[in-house]
């Protein structure tokens, strides 16, 4: 199995062998149930669909009820596909953090925090224009010129401007697993990962 679904609990820190304080993220990963097996004969590719987080039956649509009933598992909040070439999994199999080992590297993806409408300084890292003297009062964080007036007489698509920031899928790659707690289904990952507390995450082996 190449990955698992999890939920961000929060951040903490650990001391490594050299006594250095290392920030890390605590992730509740699994247990996940195998809800569907994709095959080359039917779907054109091989994959395993996992479900994470129990959900009340009355909150699930009838088609999904049948989907989970076929897998012989409780209804789930989140579904995601992972590549699997071993073929050792069956419908209803429970996948835990035991598939990972401390010291290996993973990719973590999730929905970043939404920051609302922001200017170009925060959104794109502009430094602002103009001097901070000579009577400037409202142009310090402005983007400057966004295009010539006479030719081409328009603003090109993709010009970096102010707008809604965050709330997009972000993947952070090559993060080291510091600790794997199989009993509590907890992973400790070095560094920060996208999203707020209780946000859902996809943890995959780094390739």
Do 69 and 17 lie in one domain? The reply is yes
Distance separating alpha carbons of residues 71 and 69, to the nearest angstrom: 5
Q: Structurally, how many domains does the chain consist of?
A: 2
Give strand ranges (E) for the chain. Answer: 3-15, 21-29, 32-38, 47-54, 76-82, 94-95, 105-111, 114-118, 163-166, 169-181, 186-190, 200-205
* Domain around 199: 3-115+169-205
**pLDDT tens-digit map of 164-176:** 999 999 999 999 9
Cα separations (Å) of 59 from 33, 72, 73, 204? 18, 18, 15, 29
- The model carries a pTM of 0.82
Do 12 and 103 lie in one domain? The reply is yes
Residue 91 belongs to domain with CATH number = 2.40.30.10
**pLDDT tens-digit map of 40-96:** 888 888 889 999 988 888 888 999 889 888 888 888 989 999 887 666 788 888 889
Q: Tokens 């983007």 correspond to what residue?
A: 143
Strand, helix or coil at 190?
strand
């Amino acid at each position: 199995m190449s990955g698992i679904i999890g939920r961000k609990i929060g951040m903490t820190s650990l001391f490594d062998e050299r006594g250095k304080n290392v920030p890390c993220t605590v992730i509740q990963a699994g247990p996940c149930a195998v809800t569907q097996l994709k095959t080359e004969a039917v779907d054109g590719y091989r994959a395993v669909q996992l479900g994470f987080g129990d959900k009340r039956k009355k909150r699930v649509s009838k088609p999904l009820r049948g989907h989970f009933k076929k897998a012989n598992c409780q209804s789930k909040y989140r579904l995601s596909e992972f590549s699997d070439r071993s073929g050792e999994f069956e419908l209803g199999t429970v996948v835990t953090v035991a598939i990972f080992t401390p010291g290996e590297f993973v990719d973590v993806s999730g929905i970043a925090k939404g920051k609302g409408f922001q200017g170009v300084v925060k959104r794109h890292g502009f430094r602002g224009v103009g001097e901070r003297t000579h009577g400037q009062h409202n142009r310090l964080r402005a983007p400057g010129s966004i295009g010539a007036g006479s030719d081409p007489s328009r603003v090109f698509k993709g010009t970096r401007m102010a707008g809604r920031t965050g709330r997009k899928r972000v993947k952070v790659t090559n993060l080291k697993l510091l600790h794997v707690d199989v009993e509590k289904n907890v992973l400790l990952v070095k560094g920060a990962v996208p999203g707020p507390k209780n946000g859902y995450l996809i943890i995959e082996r780094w390739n």
